[in-house]
Structure formats: C-alpha cells, structure tokens
Amino acid sequence: MSTINLSRVYDHEPRGDGRAFLVERLWPRGVRKDAIELDGWLRDVAPSHELRKWFSHDPALWEEFRRRYFAELDAHPQSWQPLVQAAAGGTVTLLYSSHDQEHNNAVALRDYLLSHL
C-alpha cells in the first residue's frame, strides 16, 4: 500500500522510511541546500508562479486554487509521474515550506496523487 506523508521542510526529521521530495518552485528561505536529506527537488510539480501569487495562501480561495492547480497537473503529467512511481514502491514524503498546514500545494498535490495511484 502506498503512503504519501506531508512534512514542513523546516520541521522535517528524516525517518528512513521512504523517499522525500521538495515540491516547491522556490527553495525555502533560510534553509541550506545541504541541510535537507532529499531524493529530489521537483520544481515543476509546484503550482505556476502566477497561480501561487493569485492564491497567496488565502483559505477562501482554496477550492478554486485546487481546481486550477489540478488543471496544471493534468496538463503536465511528466511533473508528477515520478512521485506516483516512488509511492508505488513505498512511502513518499512531500516537503513544503508554507506556514499553513491545511491550505498549501503539498496538501492539494497529495490528494491529486492519491487519486492517480
């Protein structure tokens, strides 16, 4: 069974139970690149710059953000296929930088990926 976990990059503690991928378009502020154990930084799976700016982590825009983000993902399956393949082989952790743990691209991406497993 596939498991997709979420972890805020600033709080992430590697557990050795799978693979970890940063799913942000921009590198997280204040984090050294050698400070995180990653299996990959998948910039292209993150929302477009325009969508990210439009959403601006406003919970009132959450459902519309998901709809637009899923449309972007539908148009670029090559960006998320590596995550589906990794999840098929075991546990995957999606790392994100947002303060909002309920309304961010990693939460939406996990839902999208689970629907494609």
pTM, to two decimals: 0.94
Strand order in the sheet with 3-8: 3-8, 91-96, 19-22, 40-41
pLDDT category at 1 given cuts 50, 70, 90 is low
Lowest-confidence segment of 6-15, 53-62, 104-113 by average pLDDT = 6-15
Task: Give the Cα separation of 114 and 90 in Å (integer).
Answer: 13
Whole-number Cα distances in Å, 70 to 9, 11, 14, 17, 33: 23, 27, 28, 28, 28
Question: What is the per-residue pLDDT across 23-82, written as a single tens digit (0 to 9) for each?
Answer: 999 999 999 998 888 999 999 999 999 999 999 999 999 999 999 999 999 999 999 999
Per-residue pLDDT, 17: 74
Spell out the domain ranges in the chain: 3-114
Which residues lie below 8 Å from residue 55, measured CB to CB, with a gap of 6+?
47, 61, 65
Per-residue pLDDT, 110: 98
CB of 43 within 8 A of CB of 62?
A: no
Could you tell me how many residues make up the chain?
117
Residue 12 clears pLDDT 90, i.e. is over it: no
